[in-house]
Structure 1
Amino acid sequence: MLMNKVETALVNSPPRRWLQRFYETQVLLRFGGRVLPGARALEIGCGSGYGSQLVLERFGAARVDAVDLDRAMIERAGRRLARYGDRVRLAHGSATDLRAALDADDGGYDAVFDFGIVHHIPDWPAAIAEVARVLAPGGRFYFEEVTAHALARPIYQRLFDHPTGNRFTAERFLVELAQHGLVVLGSVTRIRGDYLLGVAAKPVPDSE
Structure 2
Amino acid sequence: MKMNWVEKMLMNNPIRAAFQIWYEVPLLERLGGRTEGMKVLEVGCGRGVGTEQILNRFGASSVLAMDLDPDMVRLARKRLMKYPADRLSLTVGDVTAIQAEDQSFDAVFDFAIIHHVPIWQDALKEIHRVLKPGGRFFFQEVTSHALEKWSYQTFMVHPVENRFSGTEFINELERLGIQVGTKTTEKYGGDFVYGVGIKK
Q: Calculate the TM-score normalised by the size of structure 2.
A: 0.97
What is the CA–CA distance in structure 2 between the aligned matches of 1:72 and 1:158, rounded to whole Å?
Answer: 23
Q: In structure 2, what residue type is equivalent to 1:157?
A: Q
What is the CA–CA distance in structure 1 between the aligned matches of 2:124 and 2:190, rounded to whole Å?
Answer: 20
What is the CA–CA distance in structure 1 between the aligned matches of 2:175 and 2:45, rounded to whole Å?
Answer: 25
Answer yes or no: is 1:40 the counterpart of 2:39: yes
Q: Which residue does 1:52 correspond to in 2?
A: 51
What is the CA–CA distance in structure 1 between the aligned matches of 2:13 and 2:102, rounded to whole Å?
Answer: 35
Residues 50-91 of structure 1 show CA distances to partners (whole Å, capped at 9, x for unaligned) of 111110011110100011111111111111111011111111
Q: Superposed, which structure 2 residues align to 1:1-208 within 5 Å?
A: 1-35=1-35, 37-86=36-85, 87-99=87-99, 104-185=100-181, 186-203=183-200
Residues 129-181 of structure 1 show CA distances to partners (whole Å, capped at 9, x for unaligned) of 01111011111000000000000000111110000010000010000101110
SS in 1 for 2:159: coil
Aligned-residue CA RMSD (Å): 0.8
What is the CA–CA distance in structure 1 between the aligned matches of 2:113 and 2:57, rounded to whole Å?
Answer: 20
What is the CA–CA distance in structure 1 between the aligned matches of 2:73 and 2:27, rounded to whole Å?
Answer: 27
Deviating above 3 A after TM superposition, structure 1's stretches of 4 or more consecutive aligned residues are none
Instruction: Extract unaligned runs of 5+ from structure 2.
Output: none
Q: In structure 2, what residue type is equivalent to 1:149?
A: H
What is the CA–CA distance in structure 1 between the aligned matches of 2:20 and 2:155, rounded to whole Å?
Answer: 21
Superposed displacement of residue 38, structure 1 = 2.1
What is the CA–CA distance in structure 2 between the aligned matches of 1:144 and 1:183, rounded to whole Å?
Answer: 16
Instruction: Extract unaligned runs of 5+ from structure 1.
Output: 204-208
SS in 1 for 2:84: helix
Percent of matched pairs sharing the same residue: 46
What is the CA–CA distance in structure 1 between the aligned matches of 2:156 and 2:134, rounded to whole Å?
Answer: 36
Q: In structure 2, what residue type is equivalent to 1:133?
A: R
